[in-house]
Amino acid sequence: MLKVVHLCAGYGGISILNGISFHVDLGEVVTLIGGNGAGKSTVLKAVTGQIPVGEGRIFFGERRIDGLSPERIARLGLILVPENRGLFGGMTVEDNLRLGAFRLRLKSDELMKAMTDIWKLFPVLRARCRQKVSTMSGGEQQMLAIAKGLMADPRLMLLDEPSVGLAPKLVREIFSRIEILKQRGVTLLLVEQNVRHGLDCADRGYVMERGRIVLEGSRDALKANPEIKKAYLGVQDS
């Protein structure tokens, strides 16, 4: 689904990513973990065309997408839910969802079916459908951001720090929805500082440090790794 080969990218001539390579297969949930400044969010910005690629190649399916505009990449079905959530605070929940589906040009009955699916996954959004987004809690806004991304019918969804700024109870709620998406076969690339939750919902993971991938493996292999347990999970082997 997604293949990144020797990717180098950064900002204003400053290199952040230093030759990273990874892939996401159809139906997988893959997580990128690492501390602040590791380059995780920069990966998502490079993949979605928001920053230029210095070196390397990015393939979405069989198509090479590095160099394409963010709009063209989104039209291919690669949808980013950004850390800032990308919502329109002065608009209602329903209007934000309609904007999420804009690229699909859905007929009214198709749009309502998509909305109904969203209400089932996020019942609280149905209760808030006429409410302005700016008046919602952080957890509700994060649910809406994910729902807005789903309305675009993504082939691959990228989630950037979905737990940021949320209380533990809301973090568990958000990840319970991500687990449902996984069970439905939605392909996800997840960037997450909450390593425990990020690994729990993933099939595989990559560990980043200083713009490089330093470790990769299955969820269980990473959770059992002594370095991961010590650095990110707060567990030390006796």
pLDDT tens string 171-198: 899 999 999 999 999 999 999 888 888 9
Domain range for residue 71? 1-77+186-238
Q: 97, 147 in Cβ contact below 8 A?
A: yes
Give how many domains the chain has, as a whole number.
Answer: 1
For residues 116 and 126, give the distance between their C-alpha atoms in angstroms, rounded to a whole number: 9
- The pLDDT-based confidence of 165 (bands split at 50, 70, 90) is confident
Q: 92, 133 in Cβ contact below 8 A?
A: yes
Q: Is the pLDDT of residue 235 over 80?
A: no
In a domain, 93, yes or no: no
- CA 99 vs. chain centroid, Å, equals 18
Backbone angles phi, psi at 177, to 5 degrees: -70, -40
For residues 97 and 152, give the distance between their C-alpha atoms in angstroms, rounded to a whole number: 9
In a domain, 68, yes or no: yes
In a domain, 191, yes or no: yes
In a domain, 214, yes or no: yes
In a domain, 219, yes or no: yes
- CA 178 vs. chain centroid, Å, equals 10
Give the domain CATH number at 10: 3.40.50.300
pLDDT of residue 114: 87
- The pLDDT-based confidence of 44 (bands split at 50, 70, 90) is very high
Q: 188, 219 in Cβ contact below 8 A?
A: no
In a domain, 160, yes or no: no
Q: How many C-beta atoms surround the C-beta of residue 87 within 10 A? A: 20
Torsion of CA 215, 197, 121, 153, to 10 degrees: -20
For residues 208 and 171, give the distance between their C-alpha atoms in angstroms, rounded to a whole number: 22
Q: Is the pLDDT of residue 100 over 90?
A: no
For residues 191 and 204, give the distance between their C-alpha atoms in angstroms, rounded to a whole number: 12
Q: Is the pLDDT of residue 84 over 90?
A: no
In a domain, 126, yes or no: no
Quick one: average pLDDT of 49-77? 94
pLDDT of residue 78: 96
**Summary mean pLDDT of the chain:** 91
Quick one: average pLDDT of 63-91? 93
In a domain, 44, yes or no: yes
**Could you give the percent of the chain with pLDDT greater than 70?**
98
Q: 20, 77 in Cβ contact below 8 A?
A: no
DSSP secondary-structure letter at 87?
-
Backbone angles phi, psi at 141, to 5 degrees: -65, -40
